[in-house]
Amino acid sequence: MIISLRTLTYDELKEKLSREDKIVLWSCDTCIRFSGLGGISKMQILEDMLVNDGYQVIRKELLGISCVDELVEDRKLDDVKKEIFDQATAIIVLACEEAWERVHLAFPDKKVIQVTRSFGFGNISEERGVHLTNPFQDTEFDAVPGGIPVEQAAKQSKTFHTFFDADLQEPLQPANLIEITVDGKTILAKEGANLLEECQANGFPIPHLCHMKSLLPTGACRMCLVKIKGRKGLVASCCTLVQKGMQVITEDDEIKEDRRITLELLLSSQEHNCLTCVKEEDCQLRTLIREHSIVDLRFGKKFQPIPLDESSDAIVKDPNRCILCGRCVRACDEIAGKHNLSFAHRGSRVIVVTGLNKPWAESDCATCMACVYACPTGALYEKMLYFDGNDWKPRKLYGQYYCNRSHLINTEKDTQK
């Protein structure tokens, strides 16, 4: 993976912008995510900070792992996105320098702001975190045995290894706060905001699977149902906007039973053997299964195994663990802009497919990983990203495999083990 560090403070970044700018955030969800500087979640943080400071963020984009010209050019040719890029006056690239150059070349008429500098290749392991092991020749770093921890690299190069000092920011003070009642308590919520998100932010967690902050809500999973005074039946909170005086019940026996049934039906119709699943503790479905104390299946098991798609170098699709939440499809449309995923078939045979139901490797996938990041279960996962912790041997060298900056490595002093 490429090790990049942040070169600008948040205040320096703001000096390059004006409040009239229409800003697009552009990032990549691979190396830069592990360097702590980019990826979908960091774009979300930066968007919140900028919007809170009165700037206009009109779009978030995800660049693929290979950072090739074609990916950038795609955005310019995509009908849906053309309008957005025509409007945009500033693009902030939370990615390595290579990706910044691509975006910069593709949009010479825009303010394309670089916030990072790349120092070379490195490794990541759970025990040691991110280390720079193969510095680029044009940096001040020598390759040293065991590599240089990213914090030390940041200090030596007078850059920053974390994101825009988000931890140091004052809590956001959103405008247009109104009173609503949630489970008998009065809270202040943003008028017109997403009800589920506002409840969560105020300490009323609502179970959800298909909702993700960066994506348009669809109400597909029915886990986030709540009661709202004056409305019939149960309402999907992820698709409901906050209105003044709203009285919401997020949990009672009826709601809990409804959610239980939804979960049990998912378990009955799919393969969820958590012991053999890569998602482990990160699985949102597994968390909900535990929270709802589901230990047996009232509806039995009605399930036909479907073959995995392992054709891609980077991504594995296991349809047996897919809950059809659609987050991957929306991520590919709304974040990656590739429109490479969709649903196929009908009824109980519905599955997520790539392209026109081609193997993943033959589809138009940009390997940006937006769908993998969005998937709440083990239905989509990275083939390899981590290095073995003990001997630093990669199971597959993912970053170098794709990246065209490898010729810049400081090979004379290469001591990567």
**Binding span for ligand FES by CB under 6 A among 126-134, 209-217, 366-374, 399-407:** 209-217
Q: Using the rule CB under 6 A, is 221 a contact of ligand SF4?
A: no
Residue with Cβ nearer ligand SF4 (74 or 197) = 74
Residue with Cβ nearer ligand FES (236 or 370) = 236
Which of 75, 104, 131, 208 is in the footprint of ligand FES by CB under 6 A? 208
Site string for ligand SF4, 340-359 (x = CB under 6 A): xx----------x-------
Strand 225-228 and strand 247-249: the pairing is antiparallel
Contacted entry of ligand SF4, ligand FES, none for residue 177, CB cut-off 5 to 8 Å set by kind: none
Residue with Cβ nearer ligand SF4 (17 or 329) = 329
Residue with Cβ nearer ligand FES (376 or 399) = 376
Q: Minimum distance between the CB of residue 230 and ligand SF4, rounded to whole angstroms?
A: 32
Which of 150, 209, 324, 369 is in the footprint of ligand FES by CB under 6 A? 209
Contacted entry of ligand FES, ligand SF4, none for residue 66, CB cut-off 5 to 8 Å set by kind: none
Q: Minimum distance between the CB of residue 198 and ligand SF4, rounded to whole angstroms?
A: 24
Which of 91, 195, 238, 322 is in the footprint of ligand FES by CB under 6 A? 238
Q: Using the rule CB under 6 A, is 27 a contact of ligand SF4?
A: no
Residue with Cβ nearer ligand FES (219 or 394) = 219
Of residues 282-301, those binding ligand SF4 (CB under 6 A):
283, 285-286
Q: Minimum distance between the CB of residue 27 and ligand SF4, rounded to whole angstroms?
A: 13
Dihedral angle of Cα 59, 65, 70, 71, to the nearest 10 degrees = -20
| Contacting residues for 52 by C-beta, under 8 A, at least 6 apart | 172, 173, 174
Q: Using the rule CB under 6 A, is 219 a contact of ligand FES?
A: yes
CA distance 119 to 137: 9
Which of 274, 306, 384, 397 is in the footprint of ligand SF4 by CB under 6 A? 274
Residue with Cβ nearer ligand FES (222 or 260) = 222
**Under the rule (CB under 6 A), what is the footprint of ligand FES?**
208-211, 219-224, 236, 238
Contacts with ligand SF4, residue ranges (CB under 6 A): 272-274, 277, 279, 283, 285-286, 321-328, 331-332, 336, 338, 340-341, 352, 365-371, 374-375, 377-380
